[in-house]
Structure 1
Amino acid sequence: MSKLFTIAFLLVLFVSACSKNDDPQLNQPPAAFSVSVKQATGADDVVLSWTKAKDPDGDPVTYAVVWKDTLAKNLTDTTYTLKNVGYTATLSGTIVATDSKKATTTSVFSFTTGEYPYTPVPDVNFEKALIKLGIDDIQDGKVLTASAQKVVKLDLEFMSISSLQGIEAFSNLTELICIANGLTSLDVSKNKALTSLYCGSNPITSLDLSQNVSLLILQCSFNRLTSLDVSKNTALTHLIYNTDAVMPQEYYLKSLDVSKNLALISLACYGHGLTTLDVSRNTALTNLDCSNNNLSSLDVSRNRALTSLNCMYNRLTSLDLRNNNQLKAVSCNNNRIQTICVSDLSVVTKDWVKDNSATYQVCP
């Protein structure tokens, strides 16, 4: 009986052991992994990269990338590039790690791409100038915005440019020289760092400087501006807008208001049809050229810092310079002046020019 019991017991143990060894071992999915996302340099592609998902059972792992209609399967590498995502686009998707027994682990990614890195430059000659200056490198109708943002001075004089579209990308520009081109318009509203603007000898018909509050020097001579608003440019020290008889009178300035430009040192506005000019608030003025206009009177009594005055070819009948003892040069010929009042005749030098009919007089 004991022998039979022992045999039965051993048989039970054997069957139990065999049964236990035949149970399949539970498969574990790949370990969690992390994903990093970045935008490709100079493109709208997005590069995905992730850490390897280690499988606890040592099984090989492959990856699948899922985004919109994109499904890349059976990847063994840990990088993948999404092509032509677009600029300022928000994307989200998943990367699935799968082992050989089909167990999976998923990691989510999301990202927003940056802005378009280029600014259009449609004018061929403008882009040629940028290439010549080393700002651009290839003639393709655009410039890298980051390159434009590094520029603080831009000299485009005599470059046969008809459009400066693209100048808005030069956000750190402090000096712009675009004299003698074919510009009919000029938009510098985005160039808020500008301190010097030389845009003379162009057929520009309007110029909005309301955003250029840091502007110190403006030279816009020989354009076709019938009005010029510099009321927002209170830091302006030099204003030069001259013209000549070659310019049709329809493009002459009818008026010029410099009452807000208290820092003005030099003002040149010859060759227009101005009938009045008020410089009473411009007490820092040292140089004034208002020749070749239609002024019948000119009050410079408050401009005591004046060293140079040119008011020839107007309709002045008198000129009072009693408060202007710093004057070194005066041109007031070709007027209707009879008397030029001074504080003392000793202030008159050889550089003072008048009509023969006019006389200097110490006025009370």
Structure 2
Amino acid sequence: MKKIPYFLVMCFVCTLMSCSEDGDNNDGDTNNPMQPAARTAIADAAFEQALVELDIDDVVDGSVLTSDAEMVTSLVINDKGITSLLGISDFTMLENLWVNDNQISSVDLSQNTLLKFIFVENNALTSINVSDLNILEKLAVTNNTLTQLDISDNSALQVLQIADNTLGAIDLSAIPNGIQLNTFAVENNPLTCIKVNEEILNDIPSQWTKDANDTYALSCN
């Protein structure tokens, strides 16, 4: 009987081992668990409970599926005892937001660039960030404690209701004209000067409301 050369035997063994390893690797790929779905942290239980009531979330556990948050175009969550909207930035398709009659003290909406309507009246707002909201049409923050408000990026505004705050100044010069901004209410603020552009100054809309001592000017000190 002829002897099989040693190197041929080793080649055969190596081939078998290689096939076995490939099989193991393939099995491993098949059995890899799916990556968990991304979730958005919702710090305020009252906010999340409101999402549950709207069938956006299913249980109050501190987070919501990011994919579900990204599908929401309108949120009406008035009078829900909400103190924080942390997590709202992931609601990237949001166009309308109503959160009146809550206890929200601060909110950053600068990532929600599709917003057209924002109503945060009767809260405890000390700050609101509406930068980069280029298509925002209505902003209502009446009856809060805002000391400043930057609307320089909100040139599409048609309604601006900021009465009953603690604003020391407001600059409307980014608004093209008074015809577009058909509603403006600023009474009961400690400011005395409202900055506008020349086109607005020459034709102040009669329906705008302010305190009697407030004046419109191209420059406010």
TM-score (norm 2): 0.80
* Structure 1 residue 201 corresponds to structure 2 residue 105: no
What residue in structure 1 maps to residue 170 of structure 2? Answer: 256
* Structure 1 residue 288 corresponds to structure 2 residue 203: no
Q: How does 1:66-215 map to 2 (within 5 A)?
A: 79-81=30-32, 117-215=38-136
* Structure 1 residue 226 corresponds to structure 2 residue 179: no
| Distance 1:192-1:78 versus aligned 2 partners, 3 A rule | closer
| Distance 1:167-1:31 versus aligned 2 partners, 3 A rule | same
Give the match's secondary structure for 1:288. Answer: coil
Note if contact 1:266-1:286 (Cα within 8 Å) is conserved in structure 2. Answer: no
| Distance 1:151-1:286 versus aligned 2 partners, 3 A rule | farther
Tell me the amino acid that sits aligned with residue 264 of structure 1: L
Q: How does 1:257-276 map to 2 (within 5 A)?
A: 257-262=171-176, 263-276=180-193
What residue in structure 2 maps to residue 307 of structure 1? Answer: none
Measure, in 1, the Cα distance between the counterparts of 2:67 and 2:82. Answer: 22
Give the match's secondary structure for 2:129. Answer: coil
Note if contact 1:259-1:281 (Cα within 8 Å) is conserved in structure 2. Answer: no
Tell me the amino acid that sits aligned with residue 294 of structure 1: N
What is the identity percentage for the equivalent residue pairs of Structure 1 and Structure 2? 29
Where do 5+ consecutive residues of structure 1 fail to align?
A: 1-17, 33-52, 54-59, 66-74, 84-112, 244-250, 300-364
Identify the structure with the greater strand proportion.
Answer: 1
How far does residue 236 in structure 1 lie from its aligned partner after superposition? 0.9
Measure, in 2, the Cα distance between the counterparts of 1:229 and 1:61. Answer: 63
How far does residue 30 in structure 1 lie from its aligned partner after superposition? 5.3
TM-score (norm 1): 0.50
How far does residue 82 in structure 1 lie from its aligned partner after superposition? 6.0
Tell me the amino acid that sits aligned with residue 149 of structure 1: E
How far does residue 294 in structure 1 lie from its aligned partner after superposition? 2.4
From 236, 239, 243, the counterpart of 2:157: 236
Higher relative contact order (CA 8 A, sep 6+): 2
Tell me the amino acid that sits aligned with residue 209 of structure 2: D
Measure, in 2, the Cα distance between the counterparts of 1:184 and 1:82. Answer: 42
Number of residue pairs matched? 206
Tell me the amino acid that sits aligned with residue 256 of structure 1: I
Give the match's secondary structure for 1:79. Answer: helix
How far does residue 254 in structure 1 lie from its aligned partner after superposition? 2.1
Measure, in 1, the Cα distance between the counterparts of 2:105 and 2:45. Answer: 16
- Superposed CA deviations along residues 233-276 of structure 1, whole A, max 9, x for unmatched, are 11111101111xxxxxxx52222221111232211112223323
The two structures, once aligned, show a CA RMSD in angstroms of: 3.0
Note if contact 1:275-1:293 (Cα within 8 Å) is conserved in structure 2. Answer: no
Note if contact 1:273-1:294 (Cα within 8 Å) is conserved in structure 2. Answer: no
Measure, in 2, the Cα distance between the counterparts of 1:215 and 1:276. Answer: 24
Identify the structure with the greater helix proportion.
Answer: 2
What residue in structure 2 maps to residue 23 of structure 1? Answer: 4
| Distance 1:161-1:77 versus aligned 2 partners, 3 A rule | closer
- Superposed CA deviations along residues 124-174 of structure 1, whole A, max 9, x for unmatched, are 100000011011112110010010000011111101000110101101111
